[in-house]
Amino acid sequence: MKIAVRYYSRGGNTKKVAETIAKAIGVEAKTVAEPLTEDVDILFLGSSPYAFDVDDEVKKFINGINVSVGKAVNFSTSAAVKSTKKYVEKLLSEKNIPMAKEEFSCRGSFMMLHKGRPNEDDLKAAAEFAKNIIK
């Protein structure tokens, strides 16, 4: 099974989760600046909400997908909004890429909010989530 992990992270929260997921399933986490170059069965895609949307870099990555993706799995960090799933799912549907029902989201620190998040428990949960997806 071919699996890829891509993420966009401004403050480092989503990067921590991406690296944890990648390590748990034995692949390398890469930023969305690195396009997919081959077909994948599962794409773990991480982001955070910015102004009730995802960053333009995430949109650019998704719009640039020109390989086959079996399914995408959303993961996100946020200080306020629970998840980026609805934003990412809309973009992926325009590319006819199915999104898994399961997703992982946790708090991310922003300024004084949720200091220290994602924490050790969040990262452990992310690793377990990823392992369960690829079973």
Domain positions in the chain are: 3-133
What is the largest distance, in Å, between two alpha-carbon atoms of the chain?
A: 41
Tens digit of each residue's pLDDT (9 = 90 or more) over 21-75: 999 999 999 999 999 999 999 999 999 987 778 999 999 999 999 999 999 999 9
Over range 6-18, report the average pLDDT: 95
Tens digit of each residue's pLDDT (9 = 90 or more) over 70-116: 999 999 998 776 789 999 999 999 999 999 999 999 988 766 666 77
Q: How far, in Å, CA of 47 to CA of 91, rounded?
A: 13
Instruction: Give 110's DSSP letter.
Output: B
- Looking at per-residue pLDDT, the higher value among 81 and 123 belongs to 123
The correct answer on CATH 3.40.50.360 for the domain covering 3-133 is yes
- 126 Cβ contact list (under 8 Å, min separation 6): 17, 20, 21, 24, 75, 104, 106, 118
How high is the pLDDT of residue 111?
Answer: 62
Tokens of 133: 């997806």
Minimal CA–CA distance to 15: which of 32, 2, 1?
32
Q: Are 24 and 127 in contact (CB under 8 A)?
A: yes
**What's this model's pTM, rounded to 2 decimal places?**
0.93
How high is the pLDDT of residue 24?
Answer: 98
Q: How far, in Å, CA of 118 to CA of 17, rounded?
A: 8
How high is the pLDDT of residue 54?
Answer: 94
